[in-house]
Amino acid sequence: SSNEAPPNCARHVAVIGGGLVGSLQACFLAEKGFEVELFEAKEDIRTRKYASGRSINLGLSHRGREALKLVGLEDEVIRNGAVPMHGRMIHSLSGKTSAQAYGKKGQNVLSMDRRRLNETLLTAAESYPNVKTHFRHKLVQAELDKGTIVILDRNTDREFTLRPDLIVGCDGVNSAMRAALFEYGLINYSQEYLTHGYMELHIPAKDGKFAMEANYLHVWPREPFTMIATPNPDGTFNCALFLPLEEFADIKIRGRQVCLEFFREHFPDAVTLIGEQELTESFIANRACKLMSIKCSPYHYKDKAVIIGDAAHAMVPFYGQGMNCGFEDCIVFSEALDKFDGDLAKVLPAFSEYRSPDAQAMCDLNLYNFKEMRSLVNSRWFLFRKYLDWFLQWLFPKRHIPLYTMVTFSRIRYGEVVRRWKRQTKIVNWTLFGMACLSVVVTGIFIRRFVNLE
Ligand code: FAD
């Protein structure tokens, strides 16, 4: 019967979006023998020219690397330019810096250039004979009950209709495929804007070298603001400044001098690193971008369509997991295809059911980490708890794993990560409480003895 289709039967899949997740998903599907057509609304990123020539970078960690490894791309991606970050470097207001390792020795997050990564993935997808890519081809309509999609070819300004066996929406945070799912399915959905937005700034190289220590994610925690900087292979750093959107607008209106004063007050060492003129010029010229968290479920419509990556779960960037989670979606989807022998009527619901709670847990963890990035990293209590976490991990390596390690350096399901973290926190809190009680009792006994002696 059609329900028992062999896993490698050549079926036609339309992948919508040739961003990071779409191009990787095309590779995964090609490996399974599907005939893949990838439609990307924009021009091919490999030939696109950017006015500034810069683009933000991304932290690639364990989950993303595992996905790349499965399609044989991990080494190539790293070879094409990656700077390992071993931990956070905290910049205090006085300009002092202190390093906080991410985890054990050898555990690091790779700072990658987004554009170069996307280029590598697209070229890899095109290397499969069963993948065809179409740029400047935009999905404009999807009638999911019929399984049809309408694509606008921007080169000719013509529309055409396709009826693939499966439509995979990898079209990012403003996904047209997600909108189509709303129209045809029963979708639970929530969207949350942060009052904070972000702006990109740039720290140039100093005499051709990194102006700060290279192998760290630099953080300036200044509740309610924060700034981070990540290294590029060419010796520069990309900064992301997070401020309330109103603050951005206010400073922009009040002009360069106010901008400079703001930086001198909150990020004095960054003024020197970025350069006064470059800083004020960029601040006035650059756009502050909004940050949004999106949760929805399920991710599919019958056996016809599914969404993955940011289209399914956009998250704020404070854990550096958006892309990693999207890459892990590709693994989970591929495993579901194997498990159900490619029977899409079973694969799609199983994927939604398995993945949606995990991605939702990760969306929440990101919001928690925003607090950590703004203020907690500055607190002695936070540091004490971090060291305690590592000590407990050393004592009980299988039972106690710090939160950051579980998220960034493991493939434990995100939902399970949250459950374990809550359980571990409870145990640590009770242990600390017990130790505090014990020390009060011991001190009491000691004082009584001392008083008795008198
Ligand atoms: P996208 O990269 O947005 O790609 C979607 C693609 O679909 C685009 O190419 C778009 O042109 C195309 N498209 C859209 N609509 C259509 C249509 N109708 N038809 C055809 N094509 C269409 N993640 C990490 O893992 N680590 C990090 O350190 C990290 N840092 C981040 C920092 C910032 C400031 C931000 C904003 C995000 C960060 N992320 C990070 C998240 C990461 O950028 C996203 O999770 C990732 O880009 C999602 O990939 P995607 O392919 O799902 O979506």
Residue with CA at minimum distance from ligand 1 atom 53? 172
Ligand 1 touching residue 402 (CB < 6 A): no
Q: Kindly list the domain boundaries of the chain, sorted by start residue.
A: 2-84+110-190+294-370, 193-290, 379-453
Of 272, 281, 276, whose CA–CA distance to 212 is shortest? Answer: 272
What's the CATH fold of domain 2-84+110-190+294-370? FAD/NAD(P)-binding domain (3.50.50)
Ligand 1 touching residue 321 (CB < 6 A): yes
* Contacting residues for 203 by C-beta, under 8 A, at least 6 apart: 211, 212, 229, 236, 237, 238, 239, 270, 273, 274
Ligand 1 touching residue 138 (CB < 6 A): yes
Residue with CA at minimum distance from ligand 1 atom 46? 323
Ligand 1 touching residue 323 (CB < 6 A): yes
For residue 58, the ligand 1 atom closest to its alpha carbon is: 28
| Gyration radius from the chain CA atoms | 25
Given a contact cutoff of 8 angstroms between Cβ atoms, the answer to whether 351 and 299 are in contact is yes
- pLDDT at 51 (0 to 100): 44
- Expressed in angstroms and rounded, the spacing between residue 173 Cα and the centre of ligand 1 is 7
Ligand 1 touching residue 288 (CB < 6 A): no
What is the ipTM metric for this complex?
A: 0.99
Ligand 1 touching residue 305 (CB < 6 A): no
Of 306, 323, 315, whose CA–CA distance to 363 is shortest? Answer: 315
Of 237, 290, 297, 263, whose CA–CA distance to 111 is shortest? Answer: 237
* Contacting residues for 209 by C-beta, under 8 A, at least 6 apart: 235
- pLDDT at 136 (0 to 100): 97
Q: For tokens 């364990």, what's the residue?
A: 62
Q: For tokens 């009052």, what's the residue?
A: 195
Please list the residues that pair with 84 across neighbouring strands. Answer: 110
- Expressed in angstroms and rounded, the spacing between residue 290 Cα and the centre of ligand 1 is 14
For residue 61, the ligand 1 atom closest to its alpha carbon is: 25
Ligand 1 touching residue 231 (CB < 6 A): no
- Expressed in angstroms and rounded, the spacing between residue 442 Cα and the centre of ligand 1 is 57
- pLDDT at 450 (0 to 100): 78
Of 394, 400, 429, whose CA–CA distance to 412 is shortest? Answer: 400
- pLDDT at 116 (0 to 100): 93
Ligand 1 touching residue 308 (CB < 6 A): no
| Helix or strand run (H / E) with residue 224 | none
Ligand 1 touching residue 197 (CB < 6 A): no
- pLDDT at 398 (0 to 100): 84
Q: Cα dihedral angle (200, 206, 211, 217), rounded to 10 degrees?
A: 40
Ligand 1 touching residue 61 (CB < 6 A): no
For the chain, which residues score pLDDT lower than 70? 1-10, 50-55, 375-378, 452-454
- Expressed in angstroms and rounded, the spacing between residue 323 Cα and the centre of ligand 1 is 7
- Expressed in angstroms and rounded, the spacing between residue 242 Cα and the centre of ligand 1 is 19
Q: For tokens 């009680």, what's the residue?
A: 437
- Expressed in angstroms and rounded, the spacing between residue 20 Cα and the centre of ligand 1 is 6
